[in-house]
A and B are shown apart, each in its own frame.
Chain A
Amino acid sequence: MFQIICPNCSNTNLFEKAESRPAECSFCFTTFDDTVVSEEVTDESKGTLCGLKLIYQQNSGTIVIDGPYCILGRENTGSQLLSGIIVNGKNVISRKHCSVKLVDGQYYLKDEGSLNGTFYGVNKIDCSKEPQRIENNSILFLGKEAFLVQYQYEESGNAEMTGAVSEQADAQIHRRYKCNEGCGFESETYYEICPKCMTSNSMVEISETKKDL
């Protein structure tokens, strides 16, 4: 498996063989010329989940979360980016807005009593009542501000995992997803938009087994 991260919208474009490299981004149709680098993605190169990257969709600013737990907010993790998000002259991100926690090899998102709320996914599930599991390449909203979430993996072999990651490594869940809109595309990665037929919200989970690392 290979991937190209779109330089325009940060979408991860996956493809099976080097010779089937896509000519354009499946999300925004940006043309991939020779300067856009593709990289091979294997289970070995993927390594161990060690954090998250949040990409702010308005200006492509990023927040990297590299531990098992953190609080996001204007006076917490991501403060530099989050304190600069001002709408109608007001900060829309709270000082302590939401938290991200690693549990059983999965990151969960929870609102921490913010003024404008924290919502997960296309359907904007409210995270104030119970934590929502964060999937790779999904969207979350702090108030109305959209962030793309990408998993970060540590290189295998030199992985010195933080406590919670290490404790959960043996029990990491191996999931597969399939497009239920007829094209049948299958992947270990969940996509908001099927990379093959470009239908949104069509990916459904088809299996869940323990994976030996």
Chain B
Amino acid sequence: MKFNISGFTNKGTGKYVSNEDNILVNGALINEGEILLTENEKCLCFVSDGVGGNNAGGFASAFVLSELLKLVPENFKDISGILYNTNSQLLAVSESDNSKKGCACTLSGMIAFDDFVDFIQVGDSEIWLLRNDMLLKISSDEVSDENKTNSPLINYFGGNNNILKINTDWVKPELLKNDIFLLCSDGLFKSLNIKIVKSILTSSRSLYEKIIKIKENCLAFGSDDNISAVAVEFLGI
């Protein structure tokens, strides 16, 4: 399998003085900036959104992705176990350090290598699929009321009343050539509407140009929240 991958993470234009989002793209852990990888044979991409209302959200998202940085193809199939273990470690750290007490984060991710493909979603970080001119959300927001903005999360890493549940049951799509998967924090679609994101992703520009345009437009419209997105384009086998 081959993939083009491009992503960015940015603190936005709102209240945040630092970026509590982090992205992990094939071994590169990024807190602020952009990345482009072309024709990679592996896809190990995650977006983690530190929960802003809690203590040290940025620490939580960086912690979870630092653990995922250690993933090797041999243990891709045990991703659920690794994530539960990561959560236990995060809780241990947050309980032993008052400055990190209650820290929490969400996660969306895509793993693809050889014939193995998996998607991970925890909380309200999102996964979208652009296929045949349609942009579809394939993840569901794990919040108490999906129709309300800023509805409380019902699934997350860390936090005070930890309830992490790695969902392995949801329907995950097979990869088709030219598919573009978009992993993003909830900040992206708070800032831009779907019509504009879809229009950018369906254009004939390079994946990097598309992702930079999405970032520029988010900043132009203004983004109260941190914003992160990773686009994965499947080039075929």
Contact = CB atoms under 8 A, between A and B. Distances in A.
B98 interface: no
Contact of B219 (A8, A9, A200): A200
Given A29-B210, A199-B216, A200-B220, A9 B149 contact: no
The DSSP consensus for interface residues of chain B is helix
B199 A8 contact: yes
A141 interface: yes
A193 interface: yes
B216 A28 contact: no
Contact of B193 (A27, A58, A88, A192): A58
Contacts of B176: none
B221 A25 contact: no
A70 interface: no
Nearest to B201: A29
Contacts of A139: 220-222
A29 B205 contact: yes
Contacts of A27: 196, 217
B196 A141 contact: no
Nearest to A57: B193
Contacts, number: 62
Nearest to B202: A29
B220 A25 contact: no
Interface string B10-27: 000110000000000000
A24 interface: yes
Contacts of B199: 8-9, 25, 28-30
Contact of A28 (B14, B204, B217, B224): B217
A122 interface: yes
Contacts of A87: 149
Interface residues of A, number: 26
A81 to B, nearest CB: 16
B187 to A, nearest CB: 13
Given A9-B199, A87-B149, A146 B222 contact: yes
B133 to A, nearest CB: 12
B195 interface: yes
The 3 closest A-B pairs by CB, nearest first: A29-B203, A28-B199, A200-B220
30 contacts: A8-B195, A8-B196, A9-B196, A9-B199, A27-B196, A28-B199, A28-B217, A29-B200, A29-B210, A30-B203, A31-B203, A57-B193, A57-B221, A87-B149, A122-B13, A122-B220, A122-B221, A123-B13, A124-B13, A124-B14, A139-B220, A139-B221, A139-B222, A146-B221, A193-B216, A198-B216, A199-B216, A200-B216, A200-B217, A200-B220
Interface of A: 8-9, 24-25, 27-31, 57-58, 87-88, 122-124, 139, 141, 144, 146, 192-193, 198-201
Interface of B: 13-14, 148-149, 193, 195-196, 199-200, 202-205, 210, 213, 216-217, 219-222, 224
Given A28-B196, A30-B199, A193-B216, 19 more contacts: A25-B199, A29-B199, A29-B200, A29-B202, A29-B203, A58-B193, A88-B148, A122-B13, A122-B220, A122-B221, A123-B13, A139-B222, A144-B224, A146-B221, A146-B222, A192-B220, A193-B217, A200-B217, A200-B219
